[in-house]
Amino acid sequence: MAEKEKDGLIEKVVEVKRVSKVVKGGRRFSFSALVVVGDGKGKVGCGLGKANEVVEAVRKGTEKASKSMKSYDLYKNTIPHRILGVHGAAKVLMKPSPPGSGIISAGAIRAVAEATGIHDINVKAMGSSNAHNLVRSAIDGLSKVKGFEEIAARRNKKLEEICIMDF
């Protein structure tokens, strides 16, 4: 996984594939690049770029990923509760971890967690091991995160009664 920082954004290239198309004269090769872009403060997006050169495919993927960035709720460099994200045949179970435990996950999901700004999380990938589906299922899981303020308002309680997350 390649990593670049540009304009305060963290860009991670998750996967680059060489694909071929059989034509009359032989094979024609092109590249597809899966890129994750985040700001390290709760915003992340993913994009797939396709081109005849690797550099151009990565640039296109980065452009699409930065356009698709959305903001997600975090709690002290982790997530506030357990989440199950699903996309296609891939399922991702994300659990909060105590501070200092680090990111315990597969490579594709690790890129999403690092770009989002999550430092402590425990992730189990189930089902498909396809990088595209794992990245999208991790982002789906992050979209299901509910912040403590939202839960407190829904239960008509004070924030102090809800925030008791000690490890």
What residue ranges do the domains of the chain occupy?
2-70, 72-162
**Mean pLDDT, to the nearest integer, of 60-75?**
91
Which 8-state DSSP code applies to residue 41? S
Q: What percent of the chain has pLDDT over 70?
A: 93
* pLDDT above 60 for 132: yes
The reported pLDDT for the residue numbered 122 is 94
Using an 8 Å Cβ cutoff, are 145 and 79 in contact? yes
Using an 8 Å Cβ cutoff, are 47 and 37 in contact? yes
Question: Domain 2-70 classified CATH 3.80.30.20?
Answer: no
Of all helices (H) and strands (E), which one includes residue 131?
helix 131-143
| Dihedral sign, Cα of residue 98, residue 102, residue 108, residue 113 | positive
Model pLDDT for residues 28-61, shown as the tens digit of each residue = 999 999 999 999 888 999 999 999 999 999 999 9
CATH fold for the domain made of 72-162: Ribosomal Protein S5; domain 2 (3.30.230)
Which 8-state DSSP code applies to residue 134? H
